[in-house]
Structures are given as structure tokens and as C-alpha cells.
Amino acid sequence: MTIDWKKEVEARKDDLMKDLIDLLRINSERDDSKVTVDAPFGPGPRDALKHMLAYGERDGFTVKNVDNYAGHIEYGEGDETLGIFGHMDVVPAGDGWSTDPYEPVVKDGKIFARGSSDDKGPSMAAYYALKIIKDLGVPLSKKVRFVVGSDEESGWGDMDYYFQHEEAPDFGFSPDAEFPIINGEKGNITLTLNFKGTNDGEIHLVSFKSGLRENMVPGTATATLTVADEALSAEIEKSFTNFTTAHPVSGTIKVDGTTLAIEVVGKGAHGAHPEAGMNAGTFLALFLDQFDFTSGAKQFLHTAAAYVHEDFYGEKLGVAYEDAKMGKLTMNAGLFSFTEGSDENYIRTNYRYPQGTDADTLVAGLEKTLGAQGATITRGERNMDPHYVPIDDPLVATLLQVYEDHTGQKGFEQIIGGGTYGRLLKRGVAYGAMFPGYTDTMHQANEFMSLDDLFRATVIYADAIYRLAK
């Protein structure tokens, strides 16, 4: 059967864009302060999940909502099931946007909005690919299930719940990364460095805050200080001006007698690529570490400045590791919090680690390096082991062939630090929707997706689903 997939996508471009824009208007950031039985991750993720499932109902698919944790849109029959995994939740919008992150704007051939590239845009491309197959009545020998998640950017509690209630597909892909394919993903764990909230001496760290999520490079950081006299205030103010001149960050300092409020502005980035950002938290700590803080405040600031700052590969922290296939371990410090007198003071560090090392080794390395700094180490709830599907697996081979046929470019395997739903299945990969050479704006201000890439990905997904399930 010969199908002109590009022609079929062209005929549905306007409908695809309308559906995508309506979906992007939903602020689907996780909000734990508004969690209910009906909204396990807050109202935003629930509303976006239900909105996406409603498209499936409108278009005549078999649809199931699994208690507002996740759901699926299904088509076809067969003994095997091809799974496609997308997610409707997004990371917090953060600061620095030129437009409203939840009022999509189309300009210069791109659509700007939070979630446009991660992952509502790619999910809509995959959904319309499946819709085309249904519209055409293409005969399939396998069932196709589009699984829609709502907690991918946080703890993956959506998929934990979903797989407790539904059978896993046999193989599949997630449209949440890059072409030509992602068939390997590093391990992923968050380790928290904990400190006492003690201060004494002539200068006190009253508070220090930076970051939105552990998988984002913090774009801003703030601190409040109190000092012994106004002469010391003036010294710190002058030093801050010199610091922002000498370093690739900006900021403000406000002095009110012996109280100082400082803000540093860096550059956000995806936590899987910490080297692409300017971590405002570690730069602010680097500035403050030159002054005579004591006790827990000193330990907190010195750890951030001397061990965490620009330690993208865990070398200063004593956990560096490199594998010939998967590459280097990476470390992102995504959340910083210190409040004088509090027992909850921490730096949350997120590691993307290759095969050959493990969580126990990372914890032991941190304890050895940071024990003298007064830090204690605690683990996050989730540890994802490294994941790899061989390049000669029929799933990988088929997807690479589809990519080659539609782009004229040679396919190749890739291994990333980012974590996608592709790793949920033993034979699971990530596949698009970003093409080689794209500008990565995921987890950043002014996130966008190229419309040409959006429609081209839809063509590839339609052919890929057909070849895998025909």
C-alpha cells in the first residue's frame, strides 16, 4: 500500500495547529499545593490530560482515563501492542519570556509557548499521525496505544499508577527527544546535600533561594543578608558590582542599612545539559563565599561555590565517570534553599550517569568529598538505571529506515542524559520530534518549535506507525 504521508499531513495542518494551540493554552505545571483525589498532580496536568483525551473521543478512538493520572487513546487490534508515549505536564515557565508562555504566538515560522517542544507539540504530531492512519482505514496487525502522561517532568508518578492498572505495550517510542533516534538513556537520580541552618558572627545568611526543579538550571537566585555595620554593607555592595562585571551574570543589590537583598540572573537550561546554562545559584554562592560566614551558612555557601559551581561532570564532587558508549556523567544543581534557623537547608543535585556506575557509588563519592563540609546526603524517591536498546533491534532498525527515507540523511544511534518515557519499555526508545541542528529551548524561556519540523515529524510518525503495526 502506497500512501503519500506528506499530502495527508498537509490536508490536516490547520486542524493540527488549532488543536495544539488550544492545548498549549492550558498551564499544566505540577502544583502540589492544589493536589486532590481528582487532580493527583494539581489541576493543570489533569486539565491538559483530559483535554488531550477529549481529542481522541472526538475523533472516534477508544479512550480510557486512568483516574486522571494518565490515559490512553487506542486504535486497531492484534496480539501485540505498539505504544506511543507523550506527556502533557510542563516545567514551570520561569522568568525571561518575551511573550505570555501560555498564550501561544506564531511568528517567524515557529510556535512559542511552554510545552511547544516539550512535549505538547511532538505529542500532537504523533497523535495526528495516528489519526491519519485511522482516517484512511489502513489495515493493521497490531494494536496501537497512544499513552498520555501527566507527571513526566517530576516524579513519573503517573506512569507508576498507570502500569499498576494497565498492561504495558510490547514495544514503542516516545516523541520527546531528537531524530534520528534515542536508543540509549543515562541513569537518573537526584541526591540532596543537606546543611544546618546555623549562623553566627558579623554576617548572617538570612535566606538563599534558587531554582524551580532539579532538572532545570536555575536562571535566578536571591539572598538576604544582615551584617554588623553599614561599612560592611558598602563593602559588599561595591564587591557585587565588580563581581557582575567580571562574570557572565547580571544582578541587583539593594542595601537598607545593615540588611542587603541580592539577586543574580544567569541563564536557564535543561538539567541534562548543565553546561548550556549559567547557574544563578552557584554564581551567587561564589560571590558570597568570599565573605566571613560561619557554621551552616558557611558550609552551604562554600559547598556550592567550591564543589558544585561549574562541576558539570562531577569532578570536584568526586563522582566523575565516563563510559565509552554512553559518555560522561553530568551533574546539575537545580534547587537551593537556606533559611536561618531552619532544619530544611539543601542543594538538590541531579545526576545523569552512564552504565558502569550506580547510585550507591555516587552517594559514597559525595559522602567522602563533602563529609568535612558538614553535608549529609539523602536520595530522591526515584532512581532510573541506564537504558539501551541495541541498534540492530527491529524497532530501532525500522525507525532509522523511516527517518532515512523521509530526510535523505543517514540515521545513527544516540545516547542522551535526558530521561524520556521511551525507557518505560524494555524495547522502548525516543524518536524525534527535534531534527539534527535544532535550537534546544526545552526548559528555557521562550520555548518554541519550528512549524516545518512539527509537520515533518508528523509525516515521519505516520509512516513509522504504519510500518511497525501493519
Catalytic residue among 29, 119, 152, 447: 152
Catalytic residue among 29, 89, 118, 447: 89
Q: Are 135 and 7 in contact (CB under 8 A)?
A: no
Q: Where are the beta strands (DSSP E) in 179-219?
A: 184-185, 187-195, 203-210, 216-217
Residues 40-88: pLDDT tens digits?
999 999 999 999 999 999 999 999 999 999 999 999 999 999 999 999 9
Topology of the domain comprising 5-186+386-469: Aminopeptidase (3.40.630)
**Cell output for 425:** 519499555
Q: Does domain 188-384 have CATH number 3.30.70.360?
A: yes
pLDDT on residue 272? 92
d(CA 402, CA 351): 33
448 band by pLDDT with thresholds 50, 70 and 90: very high
pLDDT on residue 281? 98
3-class DSSP assignment, residue 63: strand
pLDDT on residue 46? 98
Residue limits of CATH 3.40.630.10 in the chain: 5-186+386-469
Q: How far is CA 135 from CA 9, 96, 319, 335, in A?
A: 12, 41, 52, 46
114 band by pLDDT with thresholds 50, 70 and 90: very high
- How many helices (H) and strands (E) the chain has is answered by 11, 26
**Is 21's pLDDT higher than 90?**
yes
**Active-site residue flag, 47:** no
**Is 135's pLDDT higher than 80?**
yes
pLDDT on residue 319? 98
Amino acid of residue 452: D
Residues 321-345: pLDDT tens digits?
999 999 999 999 999 999 999 999 9
pLDDT on residue 30? 97
pLDDT on residue 150? 98
Backbone angles phi, psi at 262, to 5 degrees: -120, 140
pLDDT on residue 53? 98
Residue limits of CATH 3.30.70.360 in the chain: 188-384
pLDDT on residue 381? 81
**Active-site residue flag, 89:** yes
**Is 409's pLDDT higher than 90?**
yes
Q: Are 119 and 181 in contact (CB under 8 A)?
A: no
Mean of pLDDT values over 185-197: 97
- Residue 63 CA, distance from chain mean position: 27
pLDDT on residue 73? 98
Calculate what percentage of the chain has a pLDDT beyond 70. 100
**Is 136's pLDDT higher than 80?**
yes
Which stretch of DSSP H or E encloses residue 395?
helix 394-407
pLDDT on residue 146? 98
pLDDT on residue 168? 97
Residues 367-396: pLDDT tens digits?
999 998 999 999 988 899 999 999 999 999
**Is 155's pLDDT higher than 90?**
no
Residue linked to cell 551533574: 331
How many CA atoms does the CB half-sphere of 457 hold within 13 Å? 32
d(CA 328, CA 314): 9
d(CA 335, CA 213): 6
Of 419, 421, 119, 91, which Cα lies nearest the Cα of 269?
91
Torsion angle of C-alpha atoms 28, 32, 33, 37, degrees rounded to 10: 90
pLDDT on residue 418? 80
Q: Mutual orientation of helices 451-469 and 13-24 as an angle, nearest 10°?
A: 110
pLDDT on residue 419? 85
**Cell output for 207:** 535566606
pLDDT on residue 164? 98
d(CA 434, CA 423): 18
pLDDT on residue 380? 87
pLDDT on residue 54? 98
Q: Are 354 and 329 in contact (CB under 8 A)?
A: yes
d(CA 311, CA 377): 17
Residues 273-322: pLDDT tens digits?
999 999 999 999 999 999 999 999 999 999 999 999 999 999 999 999 99
